[in-house]
Structure 1
Amino acid sequence: MGRLPGLLLLVLACIAAMPAAAEEGWPRRVTDALGREVTIPAPPRRIVAIFSSNVEMLAAIGAGPDIVAIEAWTRWPPDLVARTARVGGRLGFSVEAIARLGADLVVMTPARQAAAGLVDPLGRIGIPALVLTHDRLEDILANIRRLGRATGREAAAEAVASGMGARIDALRICLAGRAPVPVYMETGSDERGAAFTIRDATYTGDILRAAGGISVFAGRDRLGRVSGEAVWRADPERILIAGSADRVPALMRRPGWEGIRAVQAGRVDAVSRALLLIPGPRVVEGAEMLARLLHPDAVAEDGTCHTAAEGGK
């Protein structure tokens, strides 16, 4: 914090160079995940979006051209990533870099201490900082709408959120009456034989349920790390690996796993991490992908219901 006075002068110079905004309906206030009422004085045109989820939501509502910086691990949309500056990564985030860019809104989640390290210093120099959390599927939709209000893009945000909700509802209707498929979804593993799986009360758990599946560890919400023996005892009907397909053969050869019914039937598949583990607009594509995989006789490639397309046959 010793560099804050010099940083403040830099920000004041940037603000002084900006034209005054007189748009109707501004300033406006948006309540974030920390319960803070964030005042945004004018439609933001120089947004710093930290973490992939926030970048993807802003891009989906048409605010991509206004994003001037991201963090180092964002990969999508590729054209935005290619042209945009970086303000940090695994080692932290630079308030000074954000200020030098003349940022007029910073959007972040609490991951990797981003909120802890940025909210206070950004507030001191007058840059609005909006903290979002995406715990459940409904939170993703709510945050898209929240970003619509924060950027003056309410209509676009409503269209995106409503469209996502409609596609999820269509899947649920299509799969109504079908027994959920017991699934073990692995999101990572370590050298000591432990693996990592989804927790039930999360947006990924919501996606899996909407797709007609259920985690074999459902109801154990504090569980994220599991042993090979626990998976063997759970005996999933399907195994999904969030990642590259080249991990499938090694998984099927794990000691003792030859007795798991999913392995015996060859029902072990790799699925996209980007569509399932980044809480943004593409999670709907992830849900449709899982539904086609778990219920291929019910869900068509375009996400529509086979029975509806075939006249109820």
Structure 2
Amino acid sequence: MSTQRIISICPSNTELLHALGLMDRVVGIDDYSDWPPEETAALPKLGPDLNIDMDKLIALRPDLVIASLSVPGMEKNVDRLAERGIPHLVLNPKSIDDIYEDIRILGRACAVEERAEALILELQGKVRRVQERVAGRTERPKLYWEWWPRPLISPGQLNWLTMISDLVGAHNLFADKPGDSYTAEHSEVIERAPDYVFAVWCGVHADKVKPSMITEREGWQTVPAVQNGRVLVLEEGLYCRPSQRLFQGLEELADILEAR
């Protein structure tokens, strides 16, 4: 099957297509695909990732639509693609190894296998260099990752941020919770006393979030991260999307922990 006309309905997929040099084949994307900015701005938008306009999608005559179950609720779009007989590929990454495999899957589907293997080697090299940087660290700081503030949603055991935390010699605060996400109570965060709080609110640009939105919460003044000025707002695109940009986030995280 020729894959000259590709549609991505998830931001991380769009980013992987860019890393594989395939953006010239992309004819449509979801509304939240915003990276790289110049190329995504010029493409037709098909609606939010959880409610894709199927009529507009069909009108673009795709050879392949790429979805991802990393976005909760994407199943509805996948069902609609299947009902209409539209060729599609469904990724479901939960770990760094899954991202490597997704790159291979896309490489095979789009006949760019060599590019895919080269990209995997490049990303593995970034991981190896970070591991070498933190090899001598004796402290293992506790990181509270906040995906959403109301309710408090954080990555659980089966999410890539647990592995990202481990790779920099740290520990995801809720790594012991099953599944890929966990809804926490404020009291749990306070009791677990994280050394760092990282606000990565999904779909919210970092300039819209202020550390004071966290530090001024009732009872949080006893949290070590708050007491030590370690409540940081990070670019969610580097931590919430399972693409090559996550490895950039890994490097940034290593820098943050070294500096503090």
Is the shorter-chain TM-score for this pair beyond 0.5, marking a shared fold?
yes
Q: Paired residue for 2:97, among 135, 138, 142?
A: 138
Q: In the alignment, which residue of structure 2 is the partner of 1:270?
A: 233
Q: In the alignment, which residue of structure 2 is the partner of 1:114?
A: 77
Q: Alpha-carbon deviations, 1:162-200, whole Å to 9, x = none?
A: 10011112111221242321111111111xxx4111113
Highest CA radius of gyration, 1 or 2? 1
Q: Distance in 2 between matches of 1:120 and 1:148?
A: 26
Going from structure 1 to structure 2, the CA distance change for 1:293 and 1:275 (only over 3 Å counts) comes to same
Unmatched 5+ stretches in structure 1: 1-40, 298-313
Q: Distance in 2 between matches of 1:283 and 1:142?
A: 15
Q: Distance in 2 between matches of 1:93 and 1:241?
A: 28
SS at match of 2:147: strand
Check conservation: 1:212, 1:295, Cα contact below 8 A.
no
Q: In the alignment, which residue of structure 1 is the partner of 2:144?
A: 184
Q: Distance in 1 between matches of 2:126 and 2:195?
A: 26
Check conservation: 1:93, 1:118, Cα contact below 8 A.
no
Shift of 1:202: 0.9
Q: Distance in 2 between matches of 1:252 and 1:56?
A: 33
Opposite residue 251 of structure 1, the aligned amino acid is: I
Opposite residue 285 of structure 1, the aligned amino acid is: Q
CA RMSD, 1 decimal: 1.8
Q: Distance in 2 between matches of 1:59 and 1:250?
A: 34
SS at match of 2:210: helix
Q: Paired residue for 1:69, among 9, 24, 28?
A: 28
Shift of 1:92: 2.1
Shift of 1:46: 0.8
Q: Paired residue for 1:172, among 131, 135, 144?
A: 131
Q: In the alignment, which residue of structure 1 is the partner of 2:199?
A: 241
SS at match of 1:196: strand
SS at match of 1:55: helix
Q: Alpha-carbon deviations, 1:24-51, whole Å to 9, x = none?
A: xxxxxxxxxxxxxxxxx12x11111111
Q: In the alignment, which residue of structure 2 is the partner of 1:306?
A: none
Shift of 1:155: 1.4
Is 1:151 aligned to 2:110, yes or no?
yes
Is 1:101 aligned to 2:63, yes or no?
no
Q: In the alignment, which residue of structure 1 is the partner of 2:185?
A: 227
Paired-residue identity, % = 27
Moved over 6 A (4+): none
Q: In the alignment, which residue of structure 2 is the partner of 1:195?
A: 152
TM-score under structure 1 normalisation? 0.75
Is 1:291 aligned to 2:254, yes or no?
yes
TM-score under structure 2 normalisation? 0.89
Q: Distance in 2 between matches of 1:90 and 1:152?
A: 26
SS at match of 1:236: coil
Unmatched 5+ stretches in structure 2: none
SS at match of 1:92: coil
SS at match of 1:255: coil
Shift of 1:96: 3.0
